[in-house]
Amino acid sequence: MITEIRILRCDIELIQAELEANKPYEACGVLIGTVNGSTALVEKAQPVTNVKRTRRSFELDPKEHYNAWNEAEKSGKEVVGIYHTHPVSSAVPSLWDRETMENAPSVWLIAGADGMRAYVWENGVRAVKVIEC
């Protein structure tokens, strides 16, 4: 059970830059690193093209997602989560996010107009502490 996510300042800045660069559309990507007990350690935020390119949802480009996953495994890491942006709303899971999270058991980091928050699905949405390293 993941209770916190540790992420580098440079990766937080990258995700914020993605939010601004893609506004008003959602941006997305994967979080690569390791899980140590209840902590997800993010070593790299890797942008992935949002093939939906909408203001209210996202879909990771399948080929880019596969390549990121494969690269992570080759380096002894894993995809510990995904991130996406809510450029015109708060950093809380939308109804679509909640429905999708149930089938994707990893950390969901959301960068919204009001900041950045993380969540996991455990019989419902549960907040995860975000720690900047």
Residue scoring higher pLDDT (47 or 122): 47
* CATH class for the domain made up of 4-132: alpha beta
pTM here is 0.95
pLDDT of residue 1: 86
Average pLDDT estimate for 19-39: 95
Q: Is the pLDDT of residue 53 over 90?
A: no
Percent of the chain with pLDDT over 90: 83
Question: Looking at this protein, which amino acid is placed at residue 8?
Answer: L
Residue ranges of the alpha helices (H) in the chain? Answer: 9-22, 62-74, 95-101
SS3 content of the chain, % helix, strand, coil (to 5): 25, 40, 35
The answer to whether 32 and 82 have CB atoms below 8 angstroms apart is no
Catalytic residue among 4, 18, 26, 99: 26
CA dihedral sign, ordered 103, 78, 66, 89? positive
26 labelled catalytic: yes
Q: At 49, is the secondary structure helix, strand, or coil?
A: coil
And the tokens for 22?
A: 């893609």
Domain ranges of the chain: 4-132
